[in-house]
Amino acid sequence: MLSRVFSSAILGIDAYVVEVEAHLSGAKLPKFVTVGLPEGAVKESKERVTAAIRNSGFDFPRKHITINLAPADIRKEGSAFDLPIAVGILAATGFVEPTYLDKLLLLGELALDGSLRPIRGALPIALCARDKGNPAKKKC
Asked, for residue 139, whether it belongs to a domain, the answer is: no
- Tally of domains in the chain: 1
pLDDT above 70 as % of the chain: 92
Asked, for residue 8, whether it belongs to a domain, the answer is: yes
Tens of pLDDT, residues 31-73 = 999 999 888 888 899 999 999 999 999 999 999 999 999 999 9
Pairing verdict, β 2-11 and 31-35: unpaired
Asked, for residue 48, whether it belongs to a domain, the answer is: yes
CATH number at residue 57: 3.30.230.10
Asked, for residue 40, whether it belongs to a domain, the answer is: yes
DSSP state of 13: T
Asked, for residue 47, whether it belongs to a domain, the answer is: yes
Asked, for residue 138, whether it belongs to a domain, the answer is: no
Tens of pLDDT, residues 115-126 = 999 998 888 888
- Whether the CB-CB separation of 140 and 14 falls below 8 Å is answered with yes
Asked, for residue 84, whether it belongs to a domain, the answer is: yes
Distance CA(137)–CA(122), nearest Å, equals 19
Tens of pLDDT, residues 74-93 = 999 999 999 999 999 999 99
Question: Phi/psi at 3 (nearest 5 deg)?
Answer: -140, 160
Asked, for residue 137, whether it belongs to a domain, the answer is: no
Range of the domain at 100: 2-132
